[in-house]
Amino acid sequence: MAQVMGLGYIVIETRDIEAWRQFGTQALGMMEMPRSDDGTLHLKMDERPFRIAVVEGGEDRLACAGWELANDTLFERAIEELRAAGHVVKEGTAEELADRKVNGLAHVADPGGAELELFYGPIFDHTVFISPVGVSRFVTGTLGMGHMVMLSPEPEETYRFYTELLGFRLSDTMHMGDVLLRFTHCNQRHHSLAIAKGPASMMQHFMVEVGTLDDVGYGFDRFQDLGIRIRETIGKHTNDHMVSFYAQTPGPMQVEYGFGGIKIDDATWTTGEITATSFWGHRRPPKPAQ
């Protein structure tokens, strides 16, 4: 079975790229890289040329998630396996490869309709990451850029797509009323992808992990000083032990800004069911008056 190694990048479509530029650099603390010819905004978090790409478009949404394969052989095999399972896989054009700064790229949609880019071979720029607002570092490397929570109108098939075709393993589950939330991993990060039922395919939030608890605290102040809506106060999650807060991005999805997530080991990890998202905190502030 194909084995995704991690969440490599996300691509966001927006009607307001300047809002994302401000949010990405001044709130998240990521580094703005020179624009590509088509105006794509690339935000750098680490040694990779970018981890978030923002493209101008007619909608505000997650355009796609970039999931990384280890090398060319395993990338080709993943494409073959997806096609054998009846999925339409389209190989990336030379222009797309150049824009994503990778050696190989293929497009496929999951059963809920969310678009993925499978890729291998990031092309490094060897630029040192320097946060414009003093974030010490983002925790990436073998853990990927972070995690994402996807709502899907076809949660069962979507879960099977990722676990049976792309190598994701179940970390734990939670029932929220009638909705089953499944957290899955593809590396030592407790979850890179969580899936739950929703009316349409959409990203509920993405998470980036910073190097210290102070990075979260400074971030919490910074977001509020910038007038960004806090969706959940600082709290500690029960499953990955992440200490984090949630805020509204310029798009429909939220961002989770966290520190201290556990690493799990497939040799010993067993799946459990959690019954609360957080040990403490993660309180929802009232909606601000308009």
Site for Fe ion in 132-171 (CB under 5 A): none
Interface with Fe ion, residue 256, by CB under 5 A: yes
Which region, judged by CB under 5 A, interacts with Fe ion, from 86-94, 156-164, 172-180, 205-213? 205-213
Nearer to Fe ion, 215 or 256 (CB): 256
Q: Which two three-digit tokens encode residue 272?
A: 């459990």
Size of the site for Fe ion (CB under 5 A): 2
Whose Cβ is closer to Fe ion: residue 13's or residue 256's?
256
Closest CB 237 distance from Fe ion, rounded Å: 7
Closer CB to Fe ion, residue 1 or residue 179?
179
Of 92 and 235, nearer to Fe ion (C-beta) is: 235
Per CB under 5 A, 207 contacts Fe ion: yes
Q: Please say which residue, 104 or 146, places its beta carbon nearer to Fe ion.
A: 146
- Annotate each residue in 10-39 with x if it binds Fe ion (CB under 5 A) or - if it does not, as one string: ------------------------------
Which region among 93-101, 105-113, 128-136, 206-214 touches Fe ion (by CB under 5 A)? Answer: 206-214
Q: Does 240 bind Fe ion (CB under 5 A)?
A: no
Nearer to Fe ion, 62 or 165 (CB): 62
Stretch that binds Fe ion, among 10-18, 46-54, 253-261, 278-286 (CB under 5 A): 253-261
> Quick one: tokens of 134?
């003093």
Between residues 101 and 189, which has the closer beta carbon with respect to Fe ion? Answer: 189
Q: Give residue 286's identity as a one-letter amino acid code.
A: P
Cα separation of 129 and 164, whole Å?
Answer: 36
**Minimum distance from CB of 258 to Fe ion (Å)?**
7
* Binding of residue 209 to Fe ion (CB under 5 A): no
Q: Which residue number, 159 or 246, has a Cβ lying nearer to Fe ion?
A: 246
Which residue stretch of 56-64, 113-121, 203-211, 215-223 sits at the interface with Fe ion (rule: CB under 5 A)? Answer: 203-211
CB of 235 to Fe ion, least distance (A): 11
**Which of 151, 274, 255 lies closest to 209 in space, CA to CA?**
255
* Best CA proximity match to 198, nearest among 149, 237, 162: 149
Q: For CA atoms 8, 39, 20, 13, give the dihedral sign.
A: negative
Cβ 102 to Fe ion shortest distance, Å: 26
Residues that bind Fe ion in the complex, under the rule CB under 5 A? 207, 256
